[in-house]
Structure 1
Amino acid sequence: MYLTEIKSGKDFEVKIKSLDDDDYKKISKAQYYFNWKTEKGNNVYKLVLKDEVLGLLSCVHYKNEKRIEIRLLAVSKENRGKSKKYERITGTLIAFACKEAMKKYGIEGCVSLVPKTILKGHYMTCYGMLDAGRQVFLEGQSLLDILKEYEL
């Protein structure tokens, strides 16, 4: 897994790890848009470059549906918009959820999320997500495509 620094074009290896209790003290709503303490009961992960947290992901597993729902996904403030430092953060987090779905449910695994209305088309265009009305999702070939794209 890697991110690309926009200024230099260099790739940097990143890791995705489970969030631990100490991390919640360091994560602010101003930096990541949400109060992440409310997600403690879910599977919450951080995307880390060296010791810097660049993105966060909260997931819920629906075993009977063979589906992982992305409840929250956030990129650090300095990595949003036109002045962002790194590319590929969101895609890498989505691909990580897909990898987890494949591990748990095999080829029948699915990853979904309920996007803000204005982002629905973005998720479909940029990440190959499919329209399911209120939700967008990845399964089958679209899930495999994002894993290939983000090398997970």
Structure 2
Amino acid sequence: MKYKKNQYTEGFSVCGLIIGGAFLTAGAFLLRESFPWFIPGLVFLGVGITIIVSQIRAVVNRSKLRRVVKNEFETNAEVSVEDISKSTGISKKDVQAIILDLKAEGSLKGAFSPKSGKMETKSVEKIPTQNITYCPNCGSNIKQPDAEYCEYCGAKL
């Protein structure tokens, strides 16, 4: 599996599929015309197929990246976002996005320690104070004023 920086968050695009479909349609239309339009029709068809195949590969690679991050949490329950990023080579931005997706689907349970940034399986909720701050990455409440990491996504504050 090849990984490019921020591939998880920026790899797949619905607009890419639409553009690929437009190239396929234009190529198929031009192939039906007379001989001078045959070569451009093949070019458009090739570009459309290339775009659609790259989008399909991006979706398949997203599931592989999710499995890698989930496996890191299964092997070491108290791992931080930075540790996963260093050990797997996946950017912090992608690791945080994968963690949010895994938590949303219920595959990953627990909270990140606000002090150390490591995953904890049990978390004690405190009563929120009047001054409530929010995580810039996921928007969840930061309950401890001296927290350095978000409890929910593990982003550095």
Structure possessing the higher radius of gyration over alpha carbons:
2
Higher fraction of helix: 2
